[in-house]
Amino acid sequence: MENIELKRFWENVKEELIGVLPESVHPWLYSLEVSGYDNGVLTVVTGQAMARDWLKKNHIDQMNSILNKISDNKNSRFNIIYDEATAKKIKKQTDKIIKKEALIQQKEMAMENLSYMQSSSNLNLKYKFENFIVGDNNKFAHDAALSVAQKPAGKYNPLFIYGGSGLGKTHLMQAIGHYTIFNNPKLKVKYVKTDDYINDFISNSRKTNNSVENMSKFYKKYTNIDIILIDDIQFIESKEKSMQRMQHTFDTLYNKGKQIVITCDRQPKELPSLSKALCSRFEMGLMVELLPPELSTRFEILSKLADDNDINCEKEALMYIAKHYSDNVRELEGAFTKVCAYAEINKVDFSLELAKKILKCPECDDYISFDKIASVTANYYNVTLNDLKSSARAQKISVARHAAIYVTRELTNASFTSIAEYYGKKHTTILFAYDKVKKELNTDKDLVSTIREIKQALKVI
């Protein structure tokens, strides 16, 4: 018989066998592979020695009878052979199926845990590593968070993530939780906002009935876990008893080899009312800063928002939003949502014209370069451009530099990160300079005149 004809013949025989033989032997029949049919002998191969022996001992007469019926040859018979190569093949297929089923079960368990975690801890399922846009402003923080998720309580414990509002601190923190539960569901993860931790502590400490038992439950709640995610730790400032309890929680988890992740809007040393004990503990691990995203990163964030929500937007409209919302991802997304809602409700296109109409952002003077602003400011203060970009701290140069930074930010709406790169300074230094000038403008009339004259020299007033 030709191969194709042989296979068809075997399928017919096998179908009859399955219809007649007990269901308990069906798996063995399915595993049989036809090898040849010569002179009325149908040779089939199995990778299971027990299948060969059982079929020969208990069902060979029935099998031969069915074969005779289908082949119209009264002398037809089965020849069942055990083959090691087939055995290895079957084992490989079986292992693959078992592994696949285990993976499916693990994913189902992880999803159940994720759903439970979301409901019990207010975790947002959209805050995952997969939808966190990585840019120069946050790459180090992202990589550190991913490393912690992959290997909790490894090199980076505690992990302290700090930065301004709306830059993705909570997103990264919750991504660690989701990743851990999905990939290692045996680990217990707890996400808690600092306010909730404080309120929970106060509530349990004030209960008069079984106060010892209540505090014991509180203690176990926050220490019988593998990873704790504490959000917005700055709110624990000045709360002495809560700080003492937090220190106790921290020490217990750390000494048990558990992972601690903390977010804050500032570095620990910039929290004046934070206890020295907690400050030193927060600083003993890895501290990573989230900075405002660059223009290209902001555009990528908006593009992904549009793609995820299947919204057709003009690229120019997204770029317009990206240019005018530079320091806060939350505000950036809010501006996108506002334009999107208007377009949807009024059934109009998400265009550049619509974005300008809805957001009404002041036009950016793109033609004014950093160099031009710095040169005009340096000339006004009678210093050089190199002075402004140097590390010199002379009062005259510092004042001129602060003014240049303020004007640059005001006229270009560039991110503090890009301004920092231009002047060769840290982001926090630029932010400090800008805030300092902005505050002094409320009381210093001479400074108001100076800034106005610099802008006039730049021909923007």
Selection from 195, 173, 187 nearest residue 225 by Cα: 187
For residue 193, the cross-strand partners are: 231
Q: pTM of this prediction?
A: 0.57
Q: Three-state SS for 200?
A: helix
Selection from 186, 194, 277 nearest residue 229 by Cα: 194
Rounded to whole angstroms, the Cα distance separating 329 from 322 reads 10
Q: Residue 384: CB partners within 8 Å, gap ≥ 6?
A: 378
pLDDT for residue 25 is more than 80: yes
**Per-residue model confidence (pLDDT) at position 87:** 65
Q: Residue 397: CB partners within 8 Å, gap ≥ 6?
A: 381, 383, 387, 388, 390
Rounded to whole angstroms, the Cα distance separating 153 from 102 reads 26
332-341 per-position pLDDT tens digit: 999 999 999 9
260-286 per-position pLDDT tens digit: 999 998 999 988 889 999 999 999 999
pLDDT for residue 365 is more than 50: no
**Per-residue model confidence (pLDDT) at position 78:** 93
- Dmax (CA) for the chain in angstroms is 116
Composition of the chain by helix, strand, coil, percent to 5: 65, 10, 25
pLDDT-derived band at 363, boundaries 50, 70, 90: low
pLDDT for residue 369 is more than 90: no
pLDDT for residue 23 is more than 70: yes
Which domains, from first to last, does the chain contain? 3-82 (3.30.300.180), 129-290 (3.40.50.300), 295-359 (1.10.8.60), 370-457 (1.10.1750.10)
pLDDT for residue 374 is more than 70: yes
**Per-residue model confidence (pLDDT) at position 121:** 53
Q: Three-state SS for 44?
A: strand
**Per-residue model confidence (pLDDT) at position 218:** 87
399-456 per-position pLDDT tens digit: 999 999 999 988 877 788 889 988 999 888 899 899 999 889 888 888 988 998 998 8
200-258 per-position pLDDT tens digit: 888 887 765 656 777 888 888 899 999 999 999 999 988 999 999 999 999 999 999 99
DSSP collapsed to 3 states, 294-324: CHHHHHHHHHHHHHHCCCCECHHHHHHHHHH
pLDDT-derived band at 119, boundaries 50, 70, 90: low
85-118 per-position pLDDT tens digit: 766 776 676 667 667 777 777 666 656 655 665 5
284-341 per-position pLDDT tens digit: 999 999 988 878 888 999 999 999 888 999 989 998 998 888 778 888 999 999 999 9
pLDDT for residue 122 is more than 70: no
Measured CA distances, 376 to 43, 138, 396, 407, 449 (Å) = 94, 33, 15, 11, 15
